Structures are given as C-alpha cells and as structure tokens.
Amino acid sequence: MDELIKTFHIEANLLVAQMVNFAIVLWALYKFAYKPVLKTLNSRTNKIEKGLQDADMAGKKLEEIVEKEKEVITKAKKEAQEIAKMAEDQAKANSMSIVLEARNQSEKLLASAKSQIEQEKNKMLSEVKGEIANLVVLATEKIIGEKLDKNRDRELIEKSLKQ
C-alpha cells in the first residue's frame, strides 16, 4: 500500500482536508439543494396523485351523471308516450262524445220535426174539416133551401165525415 500511496502521490493531510471539504460540500448540498429539491418533488408527486384521484372521481361522477341522464331520458320518453297515449285516448273519447252528442241532437231535431209535421198535419186536417163543413153547410142549404141551426149543422157534418 505504501507503494500505491507513493505512486499516486497521496498525502494523508491533504486527503483528510479533502474529506472534510467533501463532507462540508455534501452537508451544504444536502441542506440547501437536496432537501428543497426533494420537498418540491414530494409536493409535485402529491399534486399529481391528487390530480389523478380527482380525475378518477370526476370520471366516476361523469359516469354517474351519464347513467342518471340516460335514466331521465328514458323516464321522459315513457312519460311522453303516456301523455301521447292519454291525449289520443282523450281525443277518441272526445270524438265519441261529439258523435254521440251530434246523434242526440239530430234525433232531437228529427223528433221535433216529426212533432211539428204532426201538428201541421193536424192543423191542416182541422182546417180542411172546417172547410168541408162549411162547404157541406152551403151545399145543404142550397139543396134543402133553408138554413139549419148550428147544432143540427154539427150533427150532420160529423155524421157525413164519419161515413
């Protein structure tokens, strides 16, 4: 070993001084460079991990929102179909009630027209009977040559109308 020391010209005092200097530089680097760099790296690592966790949570929330959106859309479609079916049923019911109401009105109009026709017929028959009675009275007066009293006129008229 002595040979090695002499070959490389290593001096013990200088080696000790270099070791002390190295230790001081190592301590200074550790204190002023390594710790802040390590602190910054740890801080960045924590931020990145938090960002990844937040991204995972956001992804899960997004999936939940998409599922809820699908549910809401499905529910809205079902409700829309139900409303459309109810509206269609209501329209059918309304059309049926309108048809029934129109039928009832037409039946009422028909019944009213029939009763009015019946009244007109009876009125015309009574007018015709009166005219016939007057004609019969006039004809009878001409044939008989005398005027009959009203009671006798009536009896003759009713008798002739019945035959």
Mean residue pLDDT across the chain: 87
Q: pLDDT for 18-50, tens place per residue?
A: 999 999 999 999 999 999 999 999 999 999 999
Give the tokens for residue 85: 């079916």
Beta-carbon contacts of residue 141 (< 8 Å; ≥ 6 apart): 147, 148
The predicted structure's pLDDT at residue 112: 93
Q: pLDDT for 73-106, tens place per residue?
A: 999 999 999 999 999 999 998 998 899 999 999 9
* pLDDT at position 145 over 60: no
CA distance 30 to 119: 127
| 3 state SS of 3 | helix
DSSP state of 10: -
Domain-wise residue ranges, the chain = 2-162
Stretch 115-141: mean pLDDT: 84
Give the tokens for residue 160: 């002739």
* pLDDT at position 53 over 60: yes
pLDDT band at 146 (very low <50, low <70, confident <90, very high): low
pLDDT band at 147 (very low <50, low <70, confident <90, very high): low
Residue % of the chain over a pLDDT of 70: 92
Alpha helix ranges (H) inside 10-149: 12-29, 35-144
Stretch 132-159: mean pLDDT: 70
